[in-house]
Structure 1
Amino acid sequence: MKEQYEPAIPVSMTYGYLTKNTRIEHGLLKEHYIDARCISGNPDAVSDGTYYYQKKVRCHNRQIHKQTILKGGIRKSNQAEYLVKGYRLFDKVRYHGREYFIFGRRKTGFFDIRTLSGEKVNKGSISVKKLTFADTRKNYLTERRTA
């Protein structure tokens, strides 16, 4: 006789129409984090308004050369330096009391910093002197947001 696996945490199936119905019955907005509350069976839970937004970013740039070839048949390298002034791509930094991520680096020490939604700060050119290091990059970037 085959043994059945009993999970330590009780698991149940649900469907999208059930989640939608629960959300409409309780007069809630259509948001991912609110749907999670409806699925959990506690749609009337009071939130403090904080949620976390995550984004997956690449780990490596495997494209060695740029696609366009320069005059004279020279292929320009696409590989940026690993560290520029001690910062890597997608490191979390603080600027004027808020946290941002490094999306672009220049050898001169100026960085393109943005939020995870892509909102540029100061037209994308901030000096390394004005930045404070907050956290090293990870595969998933996490940003704390308030509703």
Structure 2
Amino acid sequence: AERLGEFFFQKQTRRNNRQIHKLSILKGGRRKRNQASFEVKGFRLFDKVACKGEESFIFSRRSSGYFDVRKLDGTRISAGISYKKLRLLEKRRTYLTEIRKEAFPPLPEGRSLRA
């Protein structure tokens, strides 16, 4: 079998561990929300988007419509980019999948990893 030179990298995302309201209740018994709404301008947390010609994921959302966009290894593409400059590629799933290039070049003909 010949190597393709790329592989799938998967990472599991967190689920249901958000604190919805702040602990201190405001005057009048109102509870202040601790997070931005679940969906902002049609985008959710961990959606796969096209940003500056690269596939990346939304790692934080702001109610203003600006997002923190990164790759799965933590490389930040943009700390705050508008939703108008993003294009949705895939909705979030439990496992995020990214295609990566192999770090080492293919071996010459007739050679293997075990010498």
What is the percentage of aligned positions where both structures have the same residue? 49
RMSD, aligned CA = 2.3
> What 5-or-longer segments of structure 2 have no aligned partner?
103-115
Whole-Å separation in 2 of the counterparts to 1:141 and 1:81: 21
Whole-Å separation in 1 of the counterparts to 2:14 and 2:31: 23
1:98 partner amino acid: E
Alignment CA distance shift 1:46-1:92 (3 Å) = same
Task: Tell whether 2:69 aligns with 1:113.
Answer: yes
> What 5-or-longer segments of structure 1 have no aligned partner?
1-44
1:64 aligned to which of 17, 20, 23: 20
Q: Secondary structure at the match of 1:129?
A: helix
Larger strand fraction of residues = 2
1:143 partner amino acid: E
Q: Greater relative contact order (Cα 8 A, min sep 6): structure 1 or 2?
A: 2
1:144 partner amino acid: I
Task: Tell whether 2:41 aligns with 1:85.
Answer: yes
User: Which protein shows a greater Rg?
Assistant: 1
- Is the 1:61–1:79 contact (alpha carbons within 8 Å) kept by the matching residues of 2? no
Larger helix fraction of residues = 1
TM-score (norm 2): 0.75
Task: Tell whether 2:54 aligns with 1:98.
Answer: yes
Displacement, 1:49?
Answer: 0.8
Q: Secondary structure at the match of 1:87?
A: coil
1:54 partner amino acid: Q
Q: Which residue of 2 aligns with 1:130?
A: 85
2:68 partner amino acid: D
Displacement, 1:76?
Answer: 5.0
Deviation digits for residues 86-134 of structure 1 (CA, Å, limit 9, x no counterpart)? 0000000001221000001111111000000111113x11111110110
